[in-house]
Structure 1
């Protein structure tokens, strides 16, 4: 499609100007990064640097073997330059550029020759056989056109046959060729397939349209982001000035407090000085008065002794004693007196300096895209919602904690306390513990603005309601027939053994979405566990074919090992130890088998003690394993040496009692989680078997194997319910 360019004087000079020489393009060539420059400019630029960088975008480019001459010519720019020159020079009275005659003036333009022609030269031009294919544009068409006419394009001639126009495209060679080339060098056959360029061009145009469709959304986003950045740049002085104003006010207030305190202390010093001075003056007067009395008495006694007669001495001694007694009875205090006014630092200068260094901080707020993920919530449990902040490039970015607020209200409108904690860069946990069931509302704000979608509906369910149900009855991908056991793989996904369809399906533990599945060999797959390499270890019972085995599958679902030890009769549950050893419940032998990685027997455990063993869990930190006994309604605890350590559980339907226990697992604290098949109660027992609490009552029928997920949910395989249910554990 031709570009709509008005008059020559309105041409975008920047578009027609080489960024290097700042002149109109001369023989414009296109780099692989799609920027155009003069051929000579590129040649000069290439001599100055190796490897060559685009002068505009600084992208490193590799030149073809021919150098700059091997780069494609920008024909579109050439056409625009020609058209600009024609529009500028095709005015009235412009002479023909062939005969230079002035009588008629130029009337037409030969696109191929790039010359203005009068009518006579135009007719002559058309008569030359070699010029019959040249495009002639009349002056009327030039004046009437609002853009570049579609015919205003130089024809491309074959480099081998200079009089032949390029009209074919050899697809195997990816080369434009002429008619002569299709006869000689590109004859149709196995190696060559010349096609008319019209059909190829249409296909290429469609490809370009697809490229445009890919570019335009990104271009739109970049333009919008650029506009935002320009707005932010324009707003930056305002925010910085506001920050300066706030900081100035803050520190002015601190200094005002210090000045006020300084005045208070100085005033108090003056006041205390006056008090002390008055006290000292009073004490001084008392001492001076006492000293005068003492001096007078001393002089009187001395004169009597030196000059008095015996009669005189006898006469004055009593009077002198009375006076001295008076003076000595009421002496003034010579020690206890305020003497100085001293300033004491309440806060050491060094400590205050450190406090001042921490007074105020500068943060750069990042405009972030915020999303909130509401996790399933259960009453009386600690629940979380996840808040994610990313920058414009989709990378996690941090925001200030003070800039994030989360307010949760229950169905009655009462506030539910929430806690906000940044778990990782750009990832926040909003935690809360609801006290009632029903729809709650979570309002989340960042930087004072509500997050998209806020307030969010948070449905708080009872603890007996599964937070997620995976699968339903069916044979298609994502559906289940008879799920017998579950395990958690290395990625935290849930692996389910489908006994009915003889396959393992992997589900996302957060969404329940089916990720993949793989078929398993053999009949009656029952138990599953993961080894330390992330491989799946499955048991296969002997019903109905007697083909009992242990099979190991890779993460991708390929069979890597089949074990058929002679000691194996009818395996159910399985637990894999760190070193590759396995403990397998053998229902047929009413015992547990401790096996080497190759399947050879180490020891048979529990024979004569177990009646109806089903599933097993191992606590390697204590060298213990736990076995559910379906008919005995108990859990048996053995060490790996085979010694029975203790038994817990009593038959019954009440809390803390067991009724046909099946699935069992151990949490990181050593607590034992057991599910009853009889009443669906999912219970927790301490490491010593003491009942602690009930997690939930499983809704799905026929609970079998269970597993603890990394995010503290219990996954329960419900063989009769054709599903896996997840319940909150913590």
Structure 2
């Protein structure tokens, strides 16, 4: 705290654990500075691995002692003491020593953190052991406003009667006077300094940080106000945009209705004109029909009923009339064909264009939006990522209706796509291609093509690497005899090059080189990444050992425990323990985070162990043995659980198994050094499937990326090949 805190400056909620909702009991501070009861954290840790802060969900790497190794929040303890002391100064509160006397004045012992009645206070003062204890009487207790007066004194765990008064800077430990004389004697290895001196320096450092915090707080507070201002404008903007949209589409609807009436009127007019013409034609044809019918009747009567005299009298006249009518060529055609409605603009064409009929204008700059297509494989769920950005180039949120996507395969057949927002301004476009070849992906934002759209996306077969990283050489982005491969905390590929004696890091999506750092040791072999993002690299030959490097490539530690002869494969557990293949002893070494040996695993059972991986959820260590053509499974106590595989080329068989890793479901992925088959086995060793046959030469280490690709280090191919896994 920058200054003194009075009793009115905090409330009961400040002293309450957010898990159990009771006053803190032995409060412990997490690295994120949130405080909880020790028991609550212990129970929380049994339910969750890795442990996350119950408040902010920050992942916590517990110290070696677990929850017990976390720092105590002494400030909260002081507040609890202060609250208890102030409450104890009131009437009717029992003594915390004899637990019975509620009468008379009370005193507070800061050393014991107890409230004492008058009798216990007098007795307390008589003991030589307690003569230096700081006891505050009731009248001072009631008047006191400063929490700082109630610091609970801390005593040495080894020397119970000694107060911690020194700080050993070499050991980063608080020590008492006895410890400073015996265990932390000043010299080359220890440097005990009075606590006040070190605390003052630390206070000055923290004070500087406080000065840095205030401007940031103001900046964040201003940002919150700006967000609140925008939130207050949200509904008015919605209402205005809604009114404008309704007016616009009403106008469009009015235009369509007007056009509809015009076309319907035209149809009515055409119908009337055609009806009149047809009626006239009908009357003319009926007139011809009547004349011919009358002549036919007269002629038939004369023939059937007329006498010879009658026939001779009218015969010539009937003959002339009928011949005249038959010789006449009347126009019997109506000269009319049915009229029909014509779609000058097809509904399907309008449907394509209707997306351009208005839209929501945001501050998204379509020209700055970007699309990154992940490597695509036939028959697998594939994705492309769209980043929507504003004019300043920062990721910007927009509504899903503003984004449209369309994909076609090489034959022009439409491939269904799905759109999902993953985070602010980041959209995932997913699809499942059915054929190989170049597909076209069209992406629009606010009805405008994103720069580069439509994009060409090459879909490959499952046996073809979706990406090949590196080529032979020693330059940037080139590889020489890559052996080990791992995925770092950012999802990038880290590769150990034996001949270049370095680690090189590549972008998983593009294969672009990002960083590199040199390695100690003659023959570097394998690499792993711990929970803090640090690299662990093995090397054999001269200057052999296991080395820990920072994320930036700075050498932090070198481990060479007794018995380590030829370290090959390496795996690291969440708690920092390490498993290293020790080829020279035909075993694996389980090591503490400080590199000290815990035990040998597999000794006497392995012939030529190479790579290792650990399934912590099942407490299983998997080791590939290229000599036995098997994979061995041990528990962390060193007991053999089972093994699987035999030499051969059929499903489930091996020819020099090398790299091994596990997927999130616990399935085991193994690559054959000879032949390059990538195979998947269940947690019990049952064969599941073959992923692919690696094209690069002599695969060694493998790693599974978070987005479902397997990276394979191909040493004679001088590259890393990426294959689709799921």
Could you state the TM-score of these two structures normalised by the residue count of structure 2? 0.50
Aligned length, in residue pairs: 384
Separation in 2, partners of 1:381, 1:430: 14
* Contact 2:375–2:509 (CA under 8 A) maintained in structure 1: no
Q: Indicate yes or no: 2:622 matched with 1:626.
A: yes
Q: 2:718 aligns with which of 703, 719, 722?
A: 722
* Contact 1:486–1:717 (CA under 8 A) maintained in structure 2: yes
* Contact 2:364–2:388 (CA under 8 A) maintained in structure 1: no
1:464 is aligned to 463
2:636 is aligned to 640
Q: Indicate yes or no: 2:691 matched with 1:695.
A: yes
Q: How does 1:322-341 map to 2 (within 5 A)?
A: none
Q: 1:609 aligns with which of 594, 605, 610?
A: 605
1:651 is aligned to 647
Separation in 2, partners of 1:239, 1:579: 54
Q: How does 1:44-123 map to 2 (within 5 A)?
A: none
Please state how far the C-alpha of 1:548 moved relative to its aligned partner: 2.5
Q: Indicate yes or no: 2:533 matched with 1:534.
A: yes
* Contact 1:385–1:431 (CA under 8 A) maintained in structure 2: yes
Please state how far the C-alpha of 1:249 moved relative to its aligned partner: 9.1
Distance 1:242 1:715, change over 3 A: same
* Contact 1:368–1:397 (CA under 8 A) maintained in structure 2: no
Please state how far the C-alpha of 1:475 moved relative to its aligned partner: 1.4
Q: 2:245 aligns with which of 243, 246, 254?
A: 243
Separation in 2, partners of 1:540, 1:489: 19
CA offset digits 1:599-651 (Å, max 9, x no partner): 33211111221111100000111111100010211111100011111112232
* Contact 1:388–1:428 (CA under 8 A) maintained in structure 2: yes
Q: Indicate yes or no: 2:394 matched with 1:395.
A: yes
* Contact 1:366–1:399 (CA under 8 A) maintained in structure 2: no
Separation in 2, partners of 1:367, 1:550: 50
Q: Indicate yes or no: 2:439 matched with 1:443.
A: no
* Contact 1:591–1:607 (CA under 8 A) maintained in structure 2: yes
Mark the runs of 5 or more structure 2 residues left unpaired by the alignment: 1-237, 255-358
2:300 is aligned to none
Q: Indicate yes or no: 2:476 matched with 1:477.
A: yes
Distance 1:558 1:378, change over 3 A: same
CA offset digits 1:104-138 (Å, max 9, x no partner): xxxxxxxxxxxxxxxxxxxxxxxxxxxxxxxxxxx
Q: Indicate yes or no: 2:581 matched with 1:582.
A: no
1:549 is aligned to 545
Q: Indicate yes or no: 2:676 matched with 1:680.
A: yes
2:584 match: secondary structure: coil
Separation in 1, partners of 2:514, 2:583: 32
1:281 is aligned to none
* Contact 2:364–2:396 (CA under 8 A) maintained in structure 1: no
CA offset digits 1:555-603 (Å, max 9, x no partner): 2222211122221111110111222221111111111111223333211
* Contact 2:611–2:623 (CA under 8 A) maintained in structure 1: yes
Distance 1:532 1:372, change over 3 A: closer
Q: How does 1:182-197 map to 2 (within 5 A)?
A: none
Q: Aligned Cα RMSD in Å?
A: 2.6
Q: 1:368 aligns with which of 351, 365, 380?
A: 365
Separation in 2, partners of 1:493, 1:700: 20
Please state how far the C-alpha of 1:459 moved relative to its aligned partner: 0.7
Please state how far the C-alpha of 1:379 moved relative to its aligned partner: 0.6
Please state how far the C-alpha of 1:411 moved relative to its aligned partner: 1.3
Distance 1:436 1:504, change over 3 A: same
Separation in 1, partners of 2:529, 2:246: 60
- The structure whose Rg is larger is 1
Please state how far the C-alpha of 1:445 moved relative to its aligned partner: 2.4
Please state how far the C-alpha of 1:240 moved relative to its aligned partner: 6.9
Separation in 1, partners of 2:653, 2:415: 35
* Contact 2:527–2:570 (CA under 8 A) maintained in structure 1: yes
Could you state the TM-score of these two structures normalised by the residue count of structure 1? 0.50
Q: Indicate yes or no: 2:580 matched with 1:567.
A: no
2:505 is aligned to 506
Q: How does 1:403-442 map to 2 (within 5 A)?
A: 403-442=402-441
Distance 1:570 1:456, change over 3 A: same
1:707 is aligned to 703
CA offset digits 1:242-283 (Å, max 9, x no partner): 42426879999xxxxxxxxxxxxxxxxxxxxxxxxxxxxxxx
1:243 match: secondary structure: helix
1:509 match: secondary structure: coil
Separation in 1, partners of 2:431, 2:554: 43
1:522 match: secondary structure: coil
1:490 is aligned to 489
1:465 match: secondary structure: coil
Q: How does 1:164-313 map to 2 (within 5 A)?
A: 242-245=244-247
